[in-house]
Structure 1
Amino acid sequence: MNDDRGKGSGIHSFLPAFLVSNNDSKPTTTGLPDETTSLLPVADDEGTLTEGESYELEDGTQSRTRRIALEFWELFRDSMPVVFAYTLQYSLQSVSVLIVGRLSPEALSVAAFSYMFAMSTGWLIGLGGTTAIDTLASASFTGSKDKHELGVILQRAFVVLGIFYIPVAILWFFSEPVFQLLGQEDYISRDSCTFLRILIPFGPGYILFECMKKFLQAQGIMRPGTYVLLITSPINAALNYLFVYPLGLGLWGAPLATGITYWLNFLLLILYTRFVAGFEAWGGFDRRCLRGIGSFARIAALGIIHVGSEWWAFEIVAIVSGQLGTIPLAAQSVIMTADQVMSTIPFGVGVATSSRIGNFLGAKNAAGASRAANAAAWLSIILGAVVLAILMGTKDKFALIFNDDERVVRLTAEVLPYVALFQIADGLNGSCGGTLRGMGLQWVGATVNIVSYYCAALPLGIYLAFHGWGLSGLWVGQCIALYLVGFAEWAIVAFSNWDKQVQNAFKRMDAQERAEHGEQEVVEH
């Protein structure tokens, strides 16, 4: 057992490395994982783990300060491929909006609004629902003696998230009266409904791609999503241009081209898994995936609420901005499209953190999990500060990337400083939210989001928007919300009892195993 296990469970564990005293620990036999290292713990002769044994996933001979520094590097190294993959993934939509935006401000508004709605509903199932894989798979991969359990979890995700997508597809098909009820202009309601109907057959491709990425990330394989998207991103841009202009499909060419790319992403990642890395955890199709669906569905639903409660707030901002006029809506479309790309940094750090925390919990290493949460929080603050500086330096010309209307450019420049201001808080939200998901505490993050956004920031932002502040008022509210969420989640994570979280991780695995064998399902909260 690690000598300093449990010492990092208080607020002092979130101090920077140079404020933490050295504290050597007993050596262990495992090293830091990389793309080719199996994270499975070494079992005894009977194939079981020794009670109380800690598999460190780190070099225990290093000093505490050294291990914190190494944890920074590990998270940065794991986060960057994930961030890059999500940036490329979101850029599929951003490039589509950019190409369509040259048609007219109205086309820009429809495309950006439609993709934002798709992100906040259908794509949310992939991005939020697969956090159940973060919670269960990474801990299972290091804590279970059966590596094929990860393949069963993946199949369970296919089934549950596929069911979750059905009502979303129905909503998209009949979305026009919904948009009208929300006060959108007639052309937005009509054209966005058609846009979403075209996207319906391609939604499963997006969700399955997310499932496969999480399946590989749980094994410590972080880069394949990036490799795939490096191939498909230029294909997506070419298809969008081809469909929108030479083939004369106009606005409707955008969802068709981007949707084809979603399925291509999934198929290429399947090929990578089969022939390059990650296939050993698959184990073939297994009927066990149809058992234990209840607990998986609960965790997935809470993950959707956790991620979605923030995104829905941004969707409300987009809907309200549509009532301020065409130019505010166009400026909002530029900002939201850019924000989707920028949000990949905290979200990517959060995904890497979820996997890392889950691996440590599955390895019964409470101190390692605490250090990972610590490093992730500070890493996200640093990255958020970098994004803040970039946005402030480019605010006056930023909108020209999407649209050359002088009014749109000017209004975007007025609002962008508020977007820049919340980047540090958004970073904390991403990293600490990832930690909570790795701990199986999606409900905590969802609760913090709902209280911060819907009880405070949104009412304030809407009030300011219609009392002289305009579009800027909406973003002032979002800025306040993100700081409330970021620091609240940081405090919750800082005071976590990591030994208890190790116990809870194994109770979740036990509950899944009992359910797969037909026994009564018990879930520890």
Structure 2
Amino acid sequence: MDSLQDTVPPDHGGCCPALSRLVPRGFGAEMWTLFALSGPLFLFQMLTFMIYIVSTVFCGHLGKVELASVTLAVAFVNVCGVSVGVGLSSACDTLMSQSFGSPNKKHVGVILQRGALVLLLCCLPCWALFLNTGHILLLFRQDPDVSRLTEDYVMIFIPGLPVIFLYNLLAKYLQNQGWLKGQEEESPFQTLGLSILHPSHSHLSRASFHLFQKITWPQVLSGVVGNCVNGVANYVLVSVLNLGIRGSAYANIISQFAQTVFLLLYIVLRKLHLETWAGWSSQCLQDWGPFFSLAVPSMLMICVEWWAYEIGSFLMGLLSVVDLSAQAVIYEVATVSYMIPLGFSIGVCVRVGMALGAADTVQAKRSAVSGVLCIVGVSVLLGTVISILKNQLGRIFTSDEDVIALVSQVLPVYSVFHVFEAVCCVYGGVLRGTGKQAFGAAVNAITYYIIGLPLGILLTFLVRMRIMGLWLGMLACVFLATAAFVAYTARLDWKLAAEEAKKHSGQQQQQQRAESTVPRPGPEKAVLSSVATGSSPGITLTTYSRSDCHVDLFRTPEEAHTLSAPASRLSVKQLVIRRGAALGAASATLLVGLAVRILATRH
């Protein structure tokens, strides 16, 4: 079993032997690569987040009810829709990166098609919840006026959900195509005279330009387009036409459509798809089982953490307005801070997945260790800055002195929390790159819902520590999760992960199909013929013959059939039944949601 420490040579010397044993060989080059990937991805995530912030700002000037409504609407859409799609599409992080790192790059396009079909189907259950937004909020004792406006926003947003899903999928399609081995010669920083670490292992500047132009630039540019359209649309619909919160919902949809169409056109017109797209294929209907075996744990891994924050905000609302306001401020700071490790997490996932797809376990381990070391340094620096600015950050969001004072008390605890949360986030990228999302989902479920939240509730309400108790419970949660991830990856079998990557990238299916076209071993230049024997029912006599030899091989028809078709492939009839059943189940869920809405409205 390979461990992470195997990437470090035992005789790695230097002025600090302990540090040398921790840092893998080639860390400098890998660090620059991760920063080159993660920096633009951080910007991309921020641009995506800004669309919701702009909507909140415009509605905040309409009144308290409108501000509360749009905030609640965005939270509802995220919890019941966006988080599900983002989680399910995270399976593509594993499948696409490993396929792109393998010789079977065209399989990336098949995964894109498969992911699009799955996500579009998953829109139907999400819409069932959207249709009943008002009734769900009233069930949780929300204000009737706020619930009504929130439902208006969410109902208008229904067509935007599949667009968000497709945009996220297209972004992952680009993100999981990056540097490959053989492009690593000179760092982009070296061309500026800034190569300071391992210059002999740096990366070629043209590879940096390729990465920026092909992968990160389209995403950032689409985010800029979406935000520009969103700002203009909000101004026209909310401020000029006075459509209120409904106008903000329309503006959000328009911006989502704009950035998705722009990104799709950019990919097609710039021909960024040629290397990985072989056209529409019925293969996208195959292998849904393996896809969901990664997608469901990925969804749980993300949603479990995401929902825990929303539950925390709900709990603070049970205390006082001051605690809820302080939680809202810290939540905004946490969201912005989380974008940095999220960028590193995506970068590490891409690097690890591509390396495993290429069967390069040494590079995969190097990328994993380097990513963790990078985020430890960055998160400690950011946490220190947050602690220093604890008295100023609250004033950005509010002028209420009670809220500002409470925020300044909690931010030092959050600073420590952020370090462990960032490390967990990057380890999540390692798990997605290796296809081990199930372990991450189990750890998050246990640490958040069995340890973190119960402890936080105990400290908040029984010990009367209020919001401080919640964040101390969350701190214990991420500390234990970090310990679990470190222990698991230290004992990870990287060679086995590389073998599993062959399955994910479709290499084994290709090999099976190739082998099925080759006759079983027989005499050289043999003539293959088959006759049915009357004396042995169900047996086919396969005869290899040539002038100087004669070999008879007996096989059943079933054995002969396995040579021409891999056993895992479904027939057309099976595909129609199974995919039709999936469509029927999703549609039935939507119909149930519609029926509940009609019945609840009548009563």
Change in 2 beyond 3 A, CA 1:172/1:327: farther
Equivalent residue, structure 2, for 1:509: 505
Pick closer, same or farther for the CA change 1:275–1:234 going to 2, 3 Å.
Answer: same
After superposition, the C-alpha distances for 1:322-355 in whole angstroms (9 at most, x for unaligned) are 2223443333333323322221111111111111
Give CA deviations for 1:141-172 in whole Å, capped at 9, x if unaligned: 22133x32111100100001111121112112
3-state secondary structure, aligned to 2:68: helix
Task: Report deviation, 1:512.
Answer: 8.3
Amino acid aligned to 2:295 = A
Report 1:285-300 matches (<5 A).
285-300=280-295
**Distance verdict in 2 for CA 1:399–1:196, change over 3 Å:** farther
Instruction: Compute the TM-score of the two structures, normalised by the length of structure 1.
Output: 0.83
Q: Contact 2:70/2:245 (CA < 8 Å) preserved in 1? A: yes
Greater Cα offset, 349-358 or 100-109: 100-109
Counterpart of 1:174 in structure 2 is: 132
Mapped to 2, the partners of 1:106 and 1:414 lie a distance apart of: 29
| Cα distance in 1 for residues equivalent to 2:396 and 2:61 | 10
* Cα contact 1:101–1:402 (8 A) shared by 2: no
User: What SS class does the counterpart of residue 341 from structure 1 fall into?
Assistant: helix
Mapped to 2, the partners of 1:392 and 1:94 lie a distance apart of: 24
Answering whether residue 296 of structure 2 is matched by residue 301 of structure 1, we say yes
- The 8 Å contact of residues 80 and 129 in structure 2, kept in 1 or not, is answered as no
**1:263 Cα offset (Å):** 1.6
- Structure 1 residues 507 and 83: CA distance shift in structure 2, 3 A: same
> What SS does structure 1 have at the residue aligned with 2:216?
coil
How far did residue 266 of structure 1 move? 1.0
Structure-2 change in CA distance of 1:400 and 1:169 (3 Å):
farther
Residue ranges of structure 1 left out of the alignment (5+ in a row): 24-63
Task: Using the TM superposition, give the Cα deviation of residue 196 of structure 1 relative to its aligned residue in structure 2, in angstroms.
Answer: 1.9
Question: Relative to structure 1, is the Cα distance of residues 16 and 8 closer, same or farther in structure 2, using a 3 angstrom cutoff?
Answer: farther
2:489 maps to 493
1:271 aligns with 2:265: yes
Contact 1:457 1:481 in 2 (8 A): yes
1:469-488 to structure 2, matched below 5 A, reads 469-488=465-484
Residue 310 of structure 2 corresponds to 315
- The CA distance in 1 between the partners of 2:385 and 2:279, in whole Å, is 47
Moved more, 251-260 or 166-175: 251-260
2:83 corresponds to 1:124: yes
> Residue 297 and residue 446 in structure 1: after superposition, are their counterparts in 2 closer, same or farther (change >3 A)?
same
Change (3 A) 1:360 1:178: same
Shift of 1:7: 6.6
> What is the aligned residue count?
477
Picking from 38, 50, 71, the partner of 1:112 is 71
Q: 1:67 aligns with which of 13, 20, 26?
A: 26
In 2, the alpha carbon distance for the partners of 1:72 and 1:415 equals 32
1:76 shift after superposition: 1.3
Identity of aligned residues (%): 29
State the distance in 1 between where 2:442 and 2:387 align.
32
Note the aligned Cα RMSD (angstroms).
Answer: 3.0
1:203 corresponds in structure 2 to 161
Displacement of 1:452: 0.3
How far apart are 1:377 and its partner, in Å? 0.5
Relative distance call for 1:326 and 1:379 in structure 2 (3 A) is same
Number of the residue aligned with 1:441: 436
Greater mean deviation of Cα atoms: 224-233 or 154-163: 224-233
* More off after superposition, 200-209 vs 379-388: 379-388
Deviation for aligned residue 1:277: 4.8
The answer to whether 1:235 aligns with 2:197 is: no
Q: What is the TM-score normalised by the length of structure 2?
A: 0.73
Deviation at 1:13, TM superposition (A): 9.0
- In 2 relative to 1, CA 470–238 (structure 1 residues): closer, same or farther, beyond 3 Å? farther
Q: Larger C-alpha radius of gyration, 1 or 2?
A: 2
Shift of 1:387: 2.3
Superposition deviation, residue 119 in structure 1: 2.2
Answer yes or no: is the 8 Å Cα contact 1:219–1:278 preserved in 2.
no
State how far apart, in whole Å, the 1-side matches of 2:506 and 2:13 are: 36
Whole-Å separation in 2 of the counterparts to 1:481 and 1:331: 21
Unmatched segments (≥5 aa) in structure 2: 179-214, 514-564, 571-603
